[in-house]
Structure 1
């Protein structure tokens, strides 16, 4: 372990420590750890190009602080550390390997730019092998806070990202608390994101995004025990295969709590993922919004409640795949008090399974709703053992199952909805 204070870094909040940090990174042999004791390290006017085998640790967030600024280069982004395919030739053959970034804060509030720049991140590494990122507090960056791509055999844990993407209009590339590009390592990327908190970020709390539409969507990615609040989207799957999202809370996110769509840069949505044991509550838009996917998604054992739109909505955004989604599963969810329908199907489905859901009290006095509303062609549906009811006086969820003029239930395998005296018959 190398003490940065003994190798030119001042940590006094006044001295520009970036040149000394770059020299130290360049001089370290692989396997070395740069230790920055408690202090304020000013990183100004240039980003630090990182090297394989060199780690960076501090005494913890608020103790060890890196303040990013660019007074001498007002048009240049200044991430703390970066290594990219475009700028440095990063690839599977030139990866950043065996590194740890842990125990410090990145403050991006003093980085000023004339407009949004996707490189204005806190951390911006691509092609990382056996990397560990933990106990980081990243805030107020103009672009994504933790913006690292192609993470193989990596863990991202206890990262708190607040108000990142502050220059993002909501439609730029990145601009998230935690944004991870995927697909660079092929069909499998072994990555776990756990126990992270994302709050008030420009686009997503957390997203994974396929970076080339011709690549194979990778398996092996897990997001567990995370909290996403007051972002545009809570957690988004924009191109993984078999993404596992478990034990997460998605609260107060403006467009949707959980999102699968073609919103990403390659317009490729995720497929065959699993969302389980989550709380999706009080999002002004839809709770769970899934579309542009070939299908296979399972949402189970999840509370979907008090959202300003529909609880669960199947629909497709323009500009991406719009074929019917096959084999969608909604199993054992608790769906209640959403302003729209409990389950709203606005995109065509083949062989969906809606089983064992508890759907109650959706809609409002001004916009009555249905427990399940079919507004698209649905082929060979299995709808079984739904408990759909309403205790409101007067009821706001006025139909158990509604098939609109634009909807169709064709060749349904089984439709069984538990009767309830306080609701209308099937409409």
Structure 2
């Protein structure tokens, strides 16, 4: 039965998340136990030189000299006489376990002294299990309530798994609870913290962390700005599945930079963030993220705050009853070859305080929105109005492409407060926005052009309603606005049409403009400076004032009604002033018509 080696260096016993290394006074007597509280004292120890001892004395620096523990014991809880014991790991247990093929890849936190009774501070026990878990292994949380006083750090390639996560804390729910619940005395930036290789001192890139079936309940947290899960730096390929974060005072899930590097390539599936103090999800430059069936509800700021998530997608995600925007797509998405856009598909909103979606991102990548459903947004503390919309773009320089977009208005669930949103979709100061189809029902206007847009394209199949959900006015056939080119393959059949711009027909054939029905014709307005009109000759001549005449204008006169002695008609132009029609007969008093043509 092997004995494993403890002590002999500052890295051989627990590093507490808050206070750094566990330290004892020089010359202190340290005893060892089987559990964090109670348990059996280990007295079968071997000091340096082979002396049998029951306790170890710290050196002049407060460090423990090298010694061997009892046979086959691979962890002990050390006590220096204080209120709490500290978990210690032998220096050579991992290598011995690997050599013998006995590495445990499923670690139960109860084996490390965790109580899970909803009262005991289990921070040290949980961290001990996480630190002891080999890469690829699982730290298991049996049903229970695990209280913590400091952040837990999950090492690379380690899975933290519970029995289940409730999407919300339902009163009188009878299923056994399973959660990590920070104490009111909690101190730290986040309940769970992922650290990169710089902060963690890892030999490899910090990657492949996993949290599965875990609920974080921050209802007792008093300190401001405590996130549920936070990651800083180059932390890759994290997976969160069936995770709930509720009631923390900061963000539900928060990623940020460290040393100029950002988290990368995360997968979030069935993740719920419920009533946290800040954004539900706060992602900063999160490349290659996948959000699938994720929800933010009742958050103190925006549901989803996404500042550059190149090459990412959100599928079937929901944002409801948040104080700010449901979704805020913002930040600099860059312009280089490494930049990229994001796809939002099948995502929805409901009763957010500001816009359902707000896009004000800059850069060149395309943001694509397909099958977007917005409902009752723009609550604005119950007052409605505020220029809020189900879908809003404000100052976005990224191209925004929207497929099918719907908006539906409403009030609070109890029927109180004002109808909102004010607009179904509103666009202001954007570079390029195209909306293909939709049904936009809002309080004031379904579609709103706030001005300053370089290109705003409205598709042919967008209907509008205004008013409340039960008393409304249909606007099913407003003008269709198409800026730029409209290419139609085949025939364009229209009952009527109007244009305020120039028409060009490029077909190189005789019948480029063909009025094919009997009775069809061309009508040209007459009047001052018009392109068609009639005049009467006096003594064989008449001068017509028309400033639209140029040197290249073709003036075509014709006799409308004969008078006097008709002669042959000719024209003399005075560009910018008009033209004179002259008959070869100075007694010609005919009424003549004329049409002006320009050279293409």
Same fold? TM cut 0.5: yes
Specify which of 164, 167, 175 is matched with residue 276 of structure 2: 164
Counterparts in 2 of 1:10 and 1:92: CA distance versus 1, 3 Å: closer
> Mapping of 1:4-403 within 5 angstroms?
4-44=109-149, 46-62=150-166, 63-71=177-185, 76-77=187-188, 79-84=190-195, 89=199, 95-113=205-223, 116-117=224-225, 120-126=226-232, 127-149=234-256, 150-165=262-277, 175-182=278-285, 189-210=287-308, 218-231=309-322, 232-239=324-331, 240=333, 241-261=340-360, 272-284=366-378, 285-306=388-409, 307-315=420-428, 324-336=429-441, 338-362=442-466, 380=483
Contact 1:280–1:303 (8 Å) recurs in 2: yes
Counterparts in 2 of 1:370 and 1:94: CA distance versus 1, 3 Å: farther
1:199 Cα deviation after fit: 0.9
1:341 Cα deviation after fit: 2.1
Query: Partner of 1:398 in structure 2?
Result: none
1:249 Cα deviation after fit: 1.4
1:33 Cα deviation after fit: 1.2
The one of the two structures with greater contact order (alpha-carbon pairs below 8 A, sep at least 6) is 1
1:308 Cα deviation after fit: 2.0
SS at 1:148 equivalent = strand
1:292 Cα deviation after fit: 2.4
**TM-score, normalising length from structure 1?**
0.72
1:379 Cα deviation after fit: 11
Deviates more, 1:271-280 or 1:149-158: 149-158
1:411 Cα deviation after fit: 6.4
* Structure 2: distance between partners of 1:21 and 1:130: 23
1:82 Cα deviation after fit: 1.0
1:146 Cα deviation after fit: 1.8
SS at 2:254 equivalent = coil
Moved runs in structure 1, 4+ residues, more than 3 A?
87-95, 148-151, 268-271, 366-374, 378-385, 409-414
* Structure 1: distance between partners of 2:502 and 2:183: 60
Structure 1, residues 32-90: CA drift from partner, whole Å, max 9, x if none? 2111111100011x11233212220100014321001242x6xx3352211357x9648
Counterparts in 2 of 1:311 and 1:95: CA distance versus 1, 3 Å: farther
SS at 1:219 equivalent = coil
**TM-score, normalising length from structure 2?**
0.52
Mark the runs of 5 or more structure 1 residues left unpaired by the alignment.
166-174, 184-188, 211-217, 263-267, 316-323, 386-400, 402-408, 415-427
SS at 1:19 equivalent = helix
Structure possessing the higher radius of gyration over alpha carbons: 2
* Structure 1: distance between partners of 2:141 and 2:447: 51
Pick the structure with more strand per residue.
Answer: 1
SS at 1:24 equivalent = helix
SS at 1:22 equivalent = helix
Contact 2:405–2:439 (8 Å) recurs in 1: yes
Structure 1, residues 350-398: CA drift from partner, whole Å, max 9, x if none? 233211232222257x999988999xxx99456999xxxxxxxxxxxxx
Mark the runs of 5 or more structure 2 residues left unpaired by the alignment.
1-105, 167-176, 257-261, 334-339, 379-387, 410-419, 489-497, 505-600
SS at 1:203 equivalent = coil
* Structure 1: distance between partners of 2:189 and 2:144: 19
1:305 Cα deviation after fit: 2.3
Contact 1:363–1:370 (8 Å) recurs in 2: no
Contact 1:343–1:371 (8 Å) recurs in 2: no
Q: Say what the alpha-carbon RMSD is for the aligned residues.
A: 3.5
Number of residues of Structure 1 aligned to a counterpart in Structure 2? 345
Counterparts in 2 of 1:345 and 1:205: CA distance versus 1, 3 Å: same
1:128 Cα deviation after fit: 2.6
